[in-house]
């Protein structure tokens, strides 16, 4: 089994609905995203997936979030844009963009250097 991980960053605002603290007010983060994909077979180049291809997929999805108020997006109309929900959202969106024998293994979202969450998906 091989795993590849790329790191990307984006900036966005959000507020936590029904939260009893400062995060109930609109604020922003410079998010760091670590995307890990996995697979068993290497291609004819000896690669699971080219890093540039993986970065491009991740960047396309993140572009939908960058410099946005996450609360305004349909994906977060019914749920808070917490780091947990954001990690699951990215996992699911990126999974739809990948094809072939490579699958999303995990998405890690850090809203600060010391506050991160990892989503691994069902099963």
Each residue of 62-118: pLDDT tens digit? 999 999 999 999 999 999 999 999 999 999 999 999 977 899 999 999 999 999 999
DSSP 69: B
pTM above 0.85, yes or no: yes
Burial of residue 114 (number of CB atoms within 10 Å: 0-12, 13-18, 19+): exposed
Domains in the chain and their CATH numbers? 2-119 (3.30.479.10)
| Residue 23 known to be catalytic | yes
Residue 19: both structure tokens together: 């939260």
Q: Percent of the chain at pLDDT above 90?
A: 95
Q: What is the pLDDT of residue 123?
A: 59
- 9, 23, 44, 58: the catalytic one is 23
As a whole number of angstroms, the distance between CA 59 and CA 75 comes to: 18
Q: Among the options 9, 27, 64, 67, which is catalytic? A: 67
- List Cα–Cα distances, 49 to 19, 21, 75, 90, 101, in angstroms: 41, 43, 28, 19, 10
Concerning whether 111 is annotated as a catalytic residue, the answer is yes
């Amino acid at each position: 089994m091989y795993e590849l991980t790329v790191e990307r960053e984006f900036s966005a605002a959000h507020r936590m609905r029904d939260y009893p603290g400062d995060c109930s007010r609109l604020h922003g983060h410079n998010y760091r995203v670590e995307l890990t994909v996995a697979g068993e077979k290497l291609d004819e180049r000896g690669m699971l997936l080219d890093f540039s291809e993986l970065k491009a997929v991740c960047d396309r999805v993140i572009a939908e979030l960058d410099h946005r108020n996450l609360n305004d997006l349909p994906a977060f109309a019914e749920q808070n844009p917490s780091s947990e929900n954001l990690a699951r959202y990215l996992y699911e969106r990126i999974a739809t963009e990948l094809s072939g024998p490579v699958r999303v293994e995990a998405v890690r979202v850090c809203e600060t250097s010391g506050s991160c969450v990892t989503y691994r998906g069902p099963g």
